[in-house]
Amino acid sequence: MTAARVALVGYGLGGSVFHAPFLASTAGLRLSAVVTGNPDRRAEVAARYPGTELIADVEELWARAGDFDLAVISTPNRQHAGHARAAVEHGLPAVVDKPFATTTADAVALAALAQERGLLLAPFHNRRYDGDFRTVRRLLAERALGRVHRFESRFERWRPEVRSSWKESADPADAGGIVFDLGSHLIDQAVALFGRPTSVYAEVAVARADAVADDDAFLALTHADGTRSQLWMSALAADLGPRFRVLGNRAGFVKHGLDPQEAALRAGATPGGAGWGEEPESAWGRLGALDDVRAVRTEPGAYQLFYAGVARALAEGTPPPVRAADGVAVLEVIEAAYRSAASGETVKLNQQ
């Protein structure tokens, strides 16, 4: 099978840590080019991926779209939809970093365009391949908890100092703030497990003294089957809650800590291979009720499965690992969350 030629647009944290290592190591894909004009990043790409072409700006990529088989968009949030639209208009399938767009309207239009052109369009929701989330998904499939009535999920950090970044911007066009950032992951995981919610209630705050973008939020989603997803995200959590707490009518599951893949990737590790994504037994979650609990081995984290799915979709025409409709659903919930936080009321979502 001829490897698909991939152009990675952007080489910041997302491009360098979460995309390039997998594009360079996944069978069926080849990291053919990186688009960045930043001299330091160009030097980093040349050192780590010496066979990869460097392209200075995205307009050059569109002019040469026929030289590539896939565009991966890892630019700042405000550019996601525009760059993805340009890729599709130039005949390129695309993977788009989260959030899929900055508005539901843009996400819907983007998904419709890709469908009209018959091109793959996949939101990059890699956290579906966190080991802890894969463990929750397996336990639900096994009905180990019985009927789940509450799904609690957290991404919390202790970052009392505000950083200089577009992610800390209050400009709506930047789609900064913690709901767009960590919230995109939490919402997508809840949607992946229980489907698009029917209603959203949210509390969104700016908790740090020097911050201008939201940095502390709580979202409560009600799903069609009555399951409630309660999602916390914060940059000012001096005490970190459990990553997951899932309650059913037979048992509960509690898991602390974060998936180890991000730390390994930041340290420069090559993904895959023996032991990739494994957690020590001391980090495993606990399943049971009250004092009658047992440790449950964490499924290995497997970010590599996302791009393996993309390679398969390109080669065989199978569905992508994450559908464009799922990216739209995340934006619908984010917009509903901001409306709810402003009004103090629960927001109903139109049923599809």
Give the tens place of pLDDT for each residue, 300-351: 999 999 999 999 999 999 999 999 999 999 999 999 999 999 999 999 998 7
Would you state the structure tokens that stand for residue 262, as one six-digit string?
């991000």
Give the tens place of pLDDT for each residue, 148-187: 999 999 999 999 999 889 999 999 999 999 999 999 999 9
| d(C-alpha 83, C-alpha 61), whole Å | 11
The answer to whether residue 124 scores a pLDDT higher than 70 is: yes
SS3 152: strand
As annotated, the residues of the chain forming the CATH 3.30.360.10 domain(s) are 127-302+332-348
Q: pTM of this prediction?
A: 0.95
Give the tens place of pLDDT for each residue, 3-36: 999 999 999 999 999 999 999 999 999 999 999 9
CB atoms within 10 A of CB 192: 16
Largest CA-CA distance found in the chain, in angstroms, rounded: 63
Q: Which of 16, 23, 52 is nearest to 266 (CA)?
A: 16
Could you tell me where the beta strands, DSSP code E, fall in the chain? 4-9, 29-35, 53-55, 70-73, 94-97, 121-124, 148-156, 197-205, 216-223, 228-234, 244-248, 252-255, 285-289, 292-296, 347-348
Q: How many residues does the structure list for the chain?
A: 352
Give the tens place of pLDDT for each residue, 209-254: 999 999 999 999 999 999 999 999 999 999 999 999 999 999 999 9
As annotated, the residues of the chain forming the CATH 3.40.50.720 domain(s) are 4-124
Dihedral angle sign, alpha carbons of residues 39, 43, 48, 51? positive
Task: Indicate the average pLDDT of the chain.
Answer: 96
CATH architecture of 4-124: 3-Layer(aba) Sandwich (3.40)
CATH of domain 127-302+332-348: 3.30.360.10
Q: Give pLDDT, residue 1.
A: 64
**With pLDDT > 90 as the criterion, what percentage of the chain qualifies?**
97
**With pLDDT > 70 as the criterion, what percentage of the chain qualifies?**
99
Q: Are 127 and 188 in contact (CB under 8 A)?
A: yes
The answer to whether residue 352 scores a pLDDT higher than 70 is: no
Could you tell me where the beta strands, DSSP code E, fall in 235-296? 244-248, 252-255, 285-289, 292-296
Q: Give pLDDT, residue 272.
A: 85
Alpha helices (runs of H) in 91-172, residue ranges in sequence order? 104-117, 131-141
